[in-house]
Amino acid sequence: MNKLLDENFLGFGLGLRSDYYQQIIDEKPAVDWFEILTENYLVDGGKPLYFLDKIRADYPMVMHGVSMSIGSTDPLDYTYLKQLKALAERVEPQWISDHLCWTGQNQVNLHDLMPLPYTREAINHVAARIREVQDFLGRQLVIENVSSYVTYREDEMTEWDFIGEVTKAADCHLLLDVNNVYVSARNHGFDPLDYISALPISAVRQLHLAGHTDYGSYVVDTHDQPVPDPVWDLAVKVFERFGAVPAMIERDDNMPAFSELMAELAHLRRIAKDTLLVAA
């Protein structure tokens, strides 16, 4: 609980989406910070950058990207990284995150978060690239676990061991998406508590909470629904293990009234507070 009162604790945030730009400026809602989708602001000018600057003047921000393709066997895209670095100089984010995945090969972008095989080879490959990006950006990177629908026959370990090994070898942080853990657990038949109880505590820098679409025999990470009860339940276990970690509601589609997101944010604060009070 002490850390929740710590003035350095970033608190609880929301993903910044264009649907709410004007409302945020007009109403200055009680959101501790916003996470921006990096690629939405890698444009030359116009409304996105105008609203970004206006909202940044009132709120701390973190940057979250989808295009680094840190696990791809293509060379790192320095055109992208230079633009990312320039945007970071403009935004001055608390940290920069992207996904532990690959998004394409041979310069073709699939615009999807493709899962990596959990192999020693992949750990070495990804960790070296994360280090290269960290050297270029001059800061530690935060990488997010993705949800997945396949695992590979080549796998040599579990996803949680793979993530732990990558964060250790790359000396980077982890953005733990609680929904993604739930989705992958359902799709691959593992216990999500095994996953979170194996992750290194000191690596976790941020949490995402989101919704999904349940098709019965599998679950798709759509991020277009309210956070469902099983994900809230898992979030309690996450706060119990990792303590006061900055957390946010991530909604990417089927955008609701802003008040609905604020209600989910209030629920998130309550869960974190109750859990951490008990744990203290």
Partner 1 sequence: MSSLARIQAQFHRQLLQGDSNVLTHIQSGGQITPAQRVSIYETGYFARLTEVLATDYKVLWMVLGDEEFSVLAKAYIIAKPSRYFSLRWFGQDFAQFLSEQEGEHANMLAQLARLEWAFVDAFNSADVTMLALEKIASVTPENWPTLRFKFHPSLQVVTHDWNVLSFWRAGREEQPFPELEHSQNSQKMLVWRKALTTQYRTLSIDEACALSAAVDGLNFSEICQVLVEQQMPDAELASIVIGWLQNWLAEGLICDIE
What does the binding site for partner 1 look like in residue numbers (CB under 8 A)? 39, 42-50, 67, 71-73, 77, 79-80, 102, 104-112, 114, 116-117, 119, 121-122, 125, 149-155, 187-189, 217-218, 220
Give the residue with the Cβ less far from partner 1, 10 or 84: 84
Task: Give the nearest distance from C-beta 117 to partner 1 in angstroms.
Answer: 6
Secondary structure letter of residue 176 according to DSSP: E
- Which candidate, 179, 197, 173, 195, places its Cα nearest to that of 245? 173
Give the residue with the Cβ less far from partner 1, 103 or 275: 103
3-state SS class at 188? helix
Give the residue with the Cβ less far from partner 1, 6 or 53: 53
Cα separations (Å) of 109 from 41, 181, 215?
18, 25, 27
With beta carbons less than 8 A apart as the criterion, state whether 116 and 122 touch.
yes
C-alpha 98/C-alpha 122 separation (Å) is 17
Task: Give the nearest distance from C-beta 190 to partner 1 in angstroms.
Answer: 10
Residue 148 sits at φ, ψ, to 5 deg, of: -140, 160
Give the residue with the Cβ less far from partner 1, 57 or 108: 108
Give the residue with the Cβ less far from partner 1, 169 or 276: 169
Task: Give the nearest distance from C-beta 22 to partner 1 in angstroms.
Answer: 11
3-state SS class at 220? strand
Task: Give the nearest distance from C-beta 74 to partner 1 in angstroms.
Answer: 9
C-alpha 67/C-alpha 263 separation (Å) is 31
Task: Give the nearest distance from C-beta 205 to partner 1 in angstroms.
Answer: 24
